Amino acid sequence: MISLAITTSTATVGVAVGDENRLLGSEQQVTERRHAEELAPMIQRVLDTASIAMSDIDRLVVDIGPGRFTGLRVGLATVRTLALALDKQVVPVTSLETLAAACDTSPVLVSVDARRGEVFQQHFVNGKPQSDPVVGAPDELAPSLEGLVVVGDGVDRYPELYGQAGVAGRQVQADMMLRVAQTRKSLAGTEVKPLYLREPDANPNVKTRPRVPKP
């Protein structure tokens, strides 16, 4: 079964394609605000590298967050469109569990930069979640770090907080999403929902925005 994995929920845009035994192609790029511009060409490059046509894809895998709202929406919209066009199922995985799965040591605390002085955080042992994902100020959320390894771009954002427990430079990897998805249930694209842990960073100001006169 050939799967196409897409991640856009963090600063990383990533695409990978492979089956149960092989990674056939992958590409990652860190970008701040160009998720929409980078994603479609990256998908095509990865498919070309793997010598695979879009019609050869059996299912899709998507990073549902938590993460950046704009990037997250880009990935979900793309996957939902592909699922509809190709009549394929989708496997949702989270950014937190993907980062935990890529860590060779256990237990691990995953910390993803949520901006606004906050992080998304979750605790894992042997890849299994030990808590629900939460969002908040990192100095308030962080438990005792003794015996823990901390991964995710929250470490890069707050190195002074995580200290020697933090492993810098770990990003969500699309190829690792393929591994996480192997034992997961597929859903219809319309059933896949983003994992939002707080309100969007930007909301329309309904009190001060000018009213549009009625015709």
Q: Which of 34, 18, 153 lies closest to 96, judged by CA?
A: 153
Cβ(73)–Cβ(44) under 8 Å? no
140-164 residue pLDDT tens: 987 678 889 999 999 999 999 999 9
159/79 same-domain check: no
What is the percent of the chain with per-residue pLDDT over 70, rounded to a whole number? Answer: 92
Domain that holds residue 125: 96-165
17/82 same-domain check: yes
Is the model's pLDDT at 204 over the cut of 60? no
103/37 same-domain check: no
7/88 same-domain check: yes
Q: Which of 2, 3, 1, 55 lies closest to 177, judged by CA?
A: 3
Predicted confidence at residue 207, as pLDDT, reads 43
Predicted confidence at residue 4, as pLDDT, reads 98
Domain count, the chain: 2
26-44 residue pLDDT tens: 999 998 788 999 999 999 9
What the block records as the tokens of 94 is 């989270």
90-116 residue pLDDT tens: 999 999 999 999 998 889 999 999 999
Predicted confidence at residue 57, as pLDDT, reads 97
107/142 same-domain check: yes
**pTM for this predicted structure:** 0.89
Rounded to whole angstroms, the Cα distance separating 202 from 181 reads 32
152/178 same-domain check: no
**How many residues are there in the chain?**
215
16/26 same-domain check: yes
Predicted confidence at residue 200, as pLDDT, reads 60
90/147 same-domain check: no
Predicted confidence at residue 201, as pLDDT, reads 52
